[in-house]
Amino acid sequence: MADGQKSERENGDKDRENGKKL
């Protein structure tokens, strides 16, 4: 479960970075 939460967190960070760039 920890891995799943970590992946979701990383994905969220990437989405935020992408949103800021866009």
- For the stretch 1-22, pLDDT in tens is 466 566 677 777 888 888 876 6
Q: What is the pLDDT of residue 8?
A: 72
Q: What pLDDT does 14 receive?
A: 85
What pLDDT score does 6 carry? 65
- CA distance readout (Å), 19 to 1, 3, 12: 27, 24, 10
pTM: 0.25
CA separation for the pair 8, 4 (Å, rounded): 6
Q: What's the alpha-carbon Rg for the chain, to the nearest Å?
A: 10
Q: Nearest-CA neighbor of 6 among 18, 22, 14, 17?
A: 14
Query: What pLDDT score was predicted for residue 2?
Result: 61
